[in-house]
Amino acid sequence: MRGMGRGDIPPYRFKNMSEWGEAYTRLSLNENFISPPDRVIKAGYRAVNSINRYPEIDGYSLRKKISSHLGLTSDMVFLSGGSILLIYTLLYAFADSTGEVIGPKVSFAAYPPAVMASGARYMVFDNEGTWGMDVEAILQLVNEKTQVILLCSPNNPTGAIMTRNELIKLLSNIPSDVIVVLDEAYYEYVENENYHYDSHKLIATYPNLVILRTFSKAYSLAGARIGYGIAVPKIWEIAGNFQPIYILNRVALAMAYEVYGDKKHLDKVRKLTRKGREYLIEHLARLGFEIAGKPEANFLMVKPTCGKDASTLRKELRENKILVNETSMYGIPGWLRITVGAEKENEYLIETLAKLCAL
């Protein structure tokens, strides 16, 4: 197996997992602080009654619902165990030791190990300071060895988006055989008219485009581990050979089916997340923190300027039962990534930071 046992593959792991208990304010994993609707929970319980039976082999019912909602055919939708598994599956299918994969320096920490596991060379474009997807920087790296380009919008850990025009500019200026994987894990949070909301429709013009979305974030199903990709059927005919059957369980499929397209839930999530994000931006700025760019998702990347570095503050927050991320794993040390929490969680964070920064 390619990449198996290679010591040079950087791990995508989290330390102190034993501390992820209810006693901690968890602002480290970009989880949705809003639970799914009761009917979604009930759908999961109903699925348990048939847990002795295998689920649909390809999740056809959910694929049909997603494709109908988006105006696509069901064979353009592919289900998997969240965006991470889709990324690995696509890279195993379309990248190898003869080629290169282009991706951002500051972005999702799962990209580098996934690329290295495929055997391809990872070519990183510098987005430090711009925080998003720099089209010109990407185009400078494209050559005859380029097999896949990884994009993340909104970008994790910065929250910056790629605009629709930027996406089209990139797609229009690369070879048609280069696969472009657009990770839209935080798609439902964005409220910006320039965003690529219709990215799935661009596939008709750019069949090398693959869209990744998830139920882990705005849909409140992080624990169910389910996501989906959108692409031309040929992409999934190839990539599907690299994913085992029955990768998804009955409970995840049932809950995802029930919650998908729930406008009331998504409107609530966007409204409360926006309120919490604005609160954190205002009060963190008051405490002297630098905010990276214009975050459009359910998290912020911030730099402390109160005389304590990010690593120290992360440790001291943990001692106060608050978990946040320090961004070394994202390729840029010295910053904290903070998830927008519930109102009381956000207030407790600010109160604690004010004490730790002696302000």
- 213 plus 276 within the same structural domain: no
**CA atoms of 187 and 158, how far apart (whole Å):** 14
Q: Are residues 57 and 138 in the same domain?
A: yes
> Do 15 and 61 share a domain, yes or no?
no
Same domain, 209 and 277: no
Q: What's the domain range around 150? A: 38-259
Rounded Cα distance between 226 and 252, Å, is 7
Q: Are 164 and 64 in contact (CB under 8 A)?
A: no
pTM: 0.94
What are residue 214's phi and psi, to 5 degrees? -140, 160
- One domain for residues 174 and 113: yes
Sheet holding 299-303, edge to edge: 290-291, 299-303, 336-339, 325-326
Q: What is the pLDDT of residue 128?
A: 94
Shared domain check, 282 and 253: no
User: Residue 8: its pLDDT value, please?
Assistant: 54
Q: Are residues 218 and 272 in the same domain?
A: no
Contact call for residues 162 and 193 (beta carbons, < 8 A): no
- pLDDT tens-digit readout, 297-340: 999 999 999 889 999 999 999 999 999 999 988 879 999 999 99
Tell whether 15 and 56 lie within a shared domain.
no
Into how many domains does the chain fold?
A: 2
CATH number of residue 46's parent domain: 3.40.640.10
In this structure, the answer to whether residues 152 and 252 fall within a common structural domain is yes
CA distance 106 to 218: 22
Report the CATH number at residue 20.
3.90.1150.10
Please state, in angstroms and rounded to a whole number, the distance separating the CA atoms of residues 236 and 77: 8
Q: Which pLDDT does position 14 carry in this prediction?
A: 55
Residues 126 and 241 in one domain: yes
Q: Which helix (H) or strand (E) holds 311?
A: helix 310-319
**Which residues in the chain land under pLDDT 50?**
1-7
**Contact of 339 with 30, CB cutoff 8 Å:** yes
- Residues 276, 239 share a domain: no
123 and 60 share a domain?
yes
Give the 3-state secondary structure percentages of the chain, helix then strand then coil, rounded to 5.
Answer: 40, 15, 45
